[in-house]
Amino acid sequence: MELVQRTDRHDGVAVLKLSNAPVNCLSKETRRRLADALQAVELDSTVTAVVLMGNGKAFSAGADLKEFDRPDAFMDRDLQHLILAQIESMTKPVVAAIHGVALGGGCELALGCHYRVANPDAKIGLPEITLGFMPGAGGTQRLPRAIGLEPALNLILKGNPVSGDEGLRLGLVDAVIHEDIEQGAIAFALRVATSRPLPLLRDKPIVHPNAVGFLDFVRRTVKADPHAPPGALSVVEALAAAATLGFDKGLEIEFDLFRRLAESAEAKAFRHVFFATRAAGRVPKPARRMPALATALVVGGGAMGRGIAVSLLEAGLTVSLLESDGGAREAAANWIRDHYRRQMEQRRLSPERMEQTLSRFASVQRYEEARDVDLAIEAVFEDMGVKLDVMRALDRAIRPEAILATNTSSLDVNELAAATGRPQQVLGLHFFNPAQVMKPVEVIRADKTAPEVLEAAIELVRRMRKIAVISGVCDGFIGNRMMTQYLNQAMFILEEGTMPWVVDDALEKWGMTMGPFRMLDLVGNEVPWAARKRKYLAHPHGVYPRVADELCERGWYGQKTGRGWYVHEQGKRRPKPNPDAAALIESHALKHGIPKREVAPNEIVERCIYALVNEGSAVLGEGIAEKASDIDVLLTSGYGFPRTRGGPMFHAETVGLTNVLRRMRRFAATGHGDKDFWNPHPLLVRLANGAKPYAEAGECR
Ligand code: NAI
């Protein structure tokens, strides 16, 4: 099929349709065809106006990201600019007719047209920043001319699209079309066909009372924000050029910033995470498919059960919640109702939507009341005995075709499955806390889980707008298992005499959203303590840092008890170092004869991050994770690993696997902490020796 289809009408309007399914990405070839088509209509004297739109479900989702990492990616700067310059020099109006999405390059194309019309629910925006780069074809120059400097900066820095209705209010579109977009746009084109001069955004001035002062303020704010995405500062500079240097110079500066950014390590890491996220949870189509899950039972109404219930309601399911404790039952139901009431008060939800959603929710007291559900998820106490009882009860009460899932964070899903008469329909769905907010869900494939059950669960996770990462069964699955080693290293470093806040600062400066000890205080130090106690029994000869046990023995769990590694004062956002924790660390080291040494920030980072890399290699080598990119997705979306570094496995490749290996061997030789842990996993050694990337781990297992 032609990438750009042309239809000529007897009234002089030519309709050009981008036809690059599914979302009309502006691949190089599509842009070439578009340039040809525009030239042809310009030269055709029977054409008086042009409607430019997309075939199918979208105007255009923008550039084809896959083209960014090709060696010739930026040789063709002029292709996109050429099209826009071509439109600007045309003698007949070009009307962009926006339906579905006009994002990134698609939005920039529309901004280059003389007019823009859109369906009310169209999504228009420049989301480049969320992928680690910035608009590169005039977006930063034309948008502020269309809607003003401050609104444009906000839209580009947040990357959120606006609707057609909102676009009209802002001045981004000229008319909203409530009926069929093509017919509406043609009618609009006929109305403006003879109107001259043809309006162009490049000709509009940017009006602002103090553009330089305002941009200076934003520049300083962005520079001070350690978590600002890689493109933020470049966007500010491009808008500064737009506001002070005129259109053509601005365009040049924008492209220069864009190219430098797109080729930067941070942007590459961001793109890696983007593609890795899309690839996560892909499974071969099973021979048999289950109908979409429509009803669910959640067992346990604690912190996790409530959030899981809300996530299921968001995916459109009818949800029952069973909680054995009367008080907790009422508290959970109230919490869910309050959650939706707050959403409504914050205008994120209409009163009708709230009523409709809550009408799908019920609190139940007996399993039999929910016997017809498609799925049951247990989120009761993390105790094998309790969970086995619940799985058996579910197996007896719930219809035999239903899926039974567990939200356990560490218990053996195979053992839970074996307690039922339907192990092929049992799996783990490991949500993160708070479940209604956090994106990742580890989908735990047990030994007997049927492919169609796995697929149905992944589909459900997607409907919840979350990210499914498949994991095999092991203690802690992928994420918590890796984080255990990371935390162990952080603890060993404490035992050598470095304070928690020094460790936190080093890792936060490196890019982790939150250092390990601030995170532990937030989650509660008693959670890993319980897991450690189980490990001491199961593997009594392991080497463990025990300093955190002493903290827990004093009841210093963290935020919830007001004290942990830090002192948490009510109403204060930033906790203060706990001097008693410092004394405890020193006396612990003395008691156990651990020599005191200074650990430099660089070593703190390397030991903690390479602990993730080594354990990640083990997880991959054992086939617990199916691919390295899944690990990167999980760590960046669930554990605050910086996206600008692409996840631990991508980061290790960026550093060079041989370099990582050399450091690990050095840690093993110096015997810091757990000496044996630093024996690199064989998979890592094989890949490093063969100069192969993690993507080829499958062949090296
Ligand atoms: P929680 O202690 O807040 O809630 C558990 C709830 O289950 C309580 O309200 C309890 O009354 C109820 N319950 C216990 N036995 C029951 C039974 N037989 N029938 C019905 N209800 C019963 O615990 P939380 O934090 O919600 O954790 C639940 C599960 O989720 C655990 O397996 C935990 O490991 C897992 N998990 C917890 C995360 C967290 O950060 N809290 C993160 C991911 C998973």
Ligand 1 binding pocket includes 303 (Cβ within 6 Å): yes
Residue 583: other Cβ atoms inside 10 A: 10
Ligand 1 neighbourhood includes 638 CB (under 6 angstroms):
no
Q: What is the mean pLDDT of the chain?
A: 94
What stretch of H or E contains 351? helix 351-358
Residue nearest to atom 25 of ligand 1 (CA): 303
Q: Which residues are catalytic?
A: 108, 128
Cα–Cα distance between 503 and 487 in angstroms, integer? 11
* Residue 118 host element (H or E): strand 115-118
Ligand 1 test: best mutation among 365, 382, 439, most atoms within 8 Å of CB?
382
* Tens of pLDDT, residues 591-646: 999 988 889 999 999 999 999 999 999 999 999 999 999 999 999 999 999 999 99
Share of the chain above pLDDT 70, in %: 98
The pLDDT tens digits for 287-297 are: 999 999 999 99
Best of 409, 521, 559 to mutate for ligand 1, by most ligand atoms within 8 A of CB? 409
Residue nearest to atom 28 of ligand 1 (CA): 379
The mean per-residue pLDDT over the stretch 472-494 comes to 96
Residue 302 CA to residue 247 CA, distance in Å, equals: 57
**How do beta strands 440-444 and 426-431 pair?**
antiparallel
Res 432 pLDDT > 80 = yes
Residue among 304, 441, 477 to mutate when testing ligand 1 (max atoms within 8 A of CB):
304
Q: At residue 66, does pLDDT exceed 90?
A: no
Span 420-442, mean pLDDT?
98
Q: What is the pLDDT of residue 543?
A: 87
Is ligand 1 within 6 A of the CB of residue 330?
Answer: no
Report how far ligand 1's centroid is from the alpha carbon of 333 (Å).
15
Task: Identify the three-state secondary structure at position 298.
Answer: strand
Ligand 1 neighbourhood includes 382 CB (under 6 angstroms): yes
User: pLDDT confidence of 574, banded at 50, 70, 90?
Assistant: confident
Q: Check pocket membership of 407 for ligand 1, CB cut-off 6 A.
A: yes
Query: Can you name the residues that pair with 4 across neighbouring β-strands?
Result: 18
> Percentage of the chain surpassing pLDDT 90?
87
- Please provide the distance, in angstroms rounded to a whole number, between the alpha carbons at the two ends of the chain: 43
Query: Does ligand 1 come within 6 angstroms of the Cβ of 366?
Result: no
CB 144 within 8 A of CB 239: yes
pLDDT of res. 664? 94
Q: Please provide the DSSP assignment of 481-531 as one string.
A: HHHHHHHHHHHHHHHTT--HHHHHHHHHHHT-SS-HHHHHHHH-THHHHHH
Q: How far is CA 172 from CA 102, 112, 135, 160, 246, in A?
A: 12, 11, 16, 14, 20
Nearest CA to ligand 1 atom 29: 379
353-372 residue pLDDT tens: 999 999 999 999 999 999 99
pLDDT of residue 598: 87
Both structure tokens of 507: 């890792």
Positive/negative CA dihedral, 144, 147, 149, 150 = negative
Which atom of ligand 1 is closest in space to residue 299's alpha carbon? 20
- The 3-class SS string of 410-449 reads CCCHHHHHHCCCCHHHEEEEEECCCCCCCCEEEEECCCCC
Q: What is the pLDDT of residue 225?
A: 86
Q: Are 460 and 443 in contact (CB under 8 A)?
A: no
Q: CA–CA separation, 83 vs 72, rounded Å?
A: 19
Report the pLDDT value the prediction gives residue 206, as an integer from 0 to 100. Answer: 96
Using the mean position of ligand 1's atoms as its centre, give its distance from the Cα of residue 413 in Å.
16
Whether residue 577 is preceded by a cis peptide bond, meaning omega within 30 degrees of 0, is: no
Query: Rounded to 10 degrees, what is the CA torsion of 225, 228, 231, 235?
Result: -50
Which pLDDT band holds residue 494 (cuts at 50, 70, 90)?
very high
The pLDDT assigned to 570 comes to 87
What local confidence, expressed as pLDDT, does residue 226 receive? 76
**Cα torsion angle, 8, 30, 164, 87, sign:** negative
Q: Report pLDDT digits (tens) over 457-471.
A: 999 999 999 999 999
Distances (CA, A) of 537 to 279, 542, 694: 39, 10, 34
Is residue 74 predicted with pLDDT exceeding 80? no
C-alpha 97 – ligand 1 centre gap (Å): 51
Q: Average the pLDDT over 54-59 and give the result.
A: 96
Cβ–Cβ < 8 Å for 417, 408: no
Nearest residue (by CA) to ligand 1, atom 14, is: 380
Ligand 1 centroid, distance to 387 Cα (angstroms): 10
Strand, helix or coil at 253? helix
Which residue lies with its CA nearest to atom 38 of ligand 1? 433
Measure 318 CA to ligand 1 centroid, in angstroms.
Answer: 21
> Whole-angstrom Cα distance, residue 289 to residue 452?
5
Atom of ligand 1 nearest to the CA of 408: 32
CA–CA dist 433, 440 (Å, integer) = 10
SS3 at position 338 = helix
In this structure, the residue with its CA closest to atom 31 of ligand 1 is: 382
Expressed in angstroms and rounded, the spacing between residue 500 Cα and the centre of ligand 1 is 29
- Closest atom, ligand 1, to C-alpha of 328: 9
Q: Report which of 615, 618, 610, 599 is spatially closest to residue 663, judged by C-alpha positions.
A: 610
- Name the residue of 323, 525, 527 whose CB sits within 8 Å of the most ligand 1 atoms, as the mutation to test its pocket: 323
Annotate 377-408 with DSSP letters as a single string.
EE---S-HHHHHHHHHHHHHHS-TTSEEEE--
CB atoms within 10 A of CB 428: 27
Residue 202 confidence (pLDDT) above 90: yes
Q: Is the pLDDT of residue 302 over 80?
A: yes
Q: Name 239's Cβ contacts closer than 8 Å, sequence gap at least 6.
A: 140, 144, 149, 152, 153, 156, 215
How does pLDDT run across 341-351, given as a tens digit for each residue?
Answer: 999 999 889 99
Least confident of 258-267, 380-389, 483-492: 258-267
Q: Is 473 in the pocket of ligand 1 (CB under 6 A)?
A: no
State the distance from the centre of ligand 1 to the C-alpha of 431, rounded, in angstroms. 12
Compute, in angstroms, the gap from residue 456 CA to the centroid of ligand 1: 24
Residue nearest to atom 40 of ligand 1 (CA): 433
Which residue CA neighbors atom 30 of ligand 1 most closely? 379
- Closest ligand 1 atom, CA of 390? 18
In the numeric block, the tokens 């009860």 are attached to: 393
Residue pair 319/312 in contact by the 8 Å Cβ criterion:
yes
Question: What distance in Å separates the CA atoms of residue 369 and residue 384, rounded to the nearest whole number?
Answer: 25
pLDDT at 71 over 60: no
**Contact at 8 Å (CB) between 551 and 565?**
yes
| Residue 64 banded pLDDT, cuts 50, 70, 90 | confident
CA dihedral 429, 430, 433, 438 (to 10 degrees): -70
| Cβ of residue 413 lying under 6 Å from some atom of ligand 1 | no
- What is the per-residue pLDDT across 113-161, written as a single tens digit (0 to 9) for each? 999 999 999 999 999 998 888 999 999 999 999 999 999 999 999 999 9
What pLDDT was estimated at residue 440?
98
Ligand 1 atom nearest residue 325's Cα: 11
| Atom in ligand 1 nearest the alpha carbon of residue 433 | 40
Cβ of 217 below 6 Å from ligand 1 = no
Is the pLDDT at 75 greater than 80? The verdict is: no
Closest CA to ligand 1's atom 3: 302
Q: Is 379 in the pocket of ligand 1 (CB under 6 A)?
A: yes
Which atom of ligand 1 sits closest to the CA of residue 393? 18
Q: Is the minimum distance from the CB of 390 to ligand 1 under 6 angstroms?
A: yes
Q: Is 300 in the pocket of ligand 1 (CB under 6 A)?
A: yes
How far does CA 348 lie from the centroid of its chain? 21
What pLDDT does 317 receive? 98
**Ligand 1 binding pocket includes 323 (Cβ within 6 Å):** yes
Q: Pick the closest to residue 375 from 315, 327, 302 (CA basis).
A: 315
CA of 579 to the centre of ligand 1 (A): 33
Burial of 359 (0-12, 13-18, 19+ CB in 10 A): exposed
pLDDT at res. 70: 65
Residue 45 pLDDT exceeds 80: yes
Ligand 1, atom 9: nearest CA belongs to which residue? 302
More confident residue, 577 or 65: 577
CA of 299 to the centre of ligand 1 (A): 9
Q: How many residues does the chain have?
A: 701
Question: In the beta sheet, which residues pair with residue 585?
Answer: none
What dihedral do alpha carbons 377, 379, 382, 386 form, nearest 10°?
A: -70
Output the pLDDT for position 63.
85
Q: Is the CB of 236 under 6 A from ligand 1?
A: no
Give CA–CA dist 612/632, Å, rounded.
11
CA of 58 to the centre of ligand 1 (A): 43
**Confidence category of residue 651, pLDDT binned at 50, 70, 90:** very high
Residue 123 token pair: 């999504």
Alpha carbon separation from 525 to 212, 213, 518, 550, 559 (Å, rounded): 48, 46, 10, 11, 9
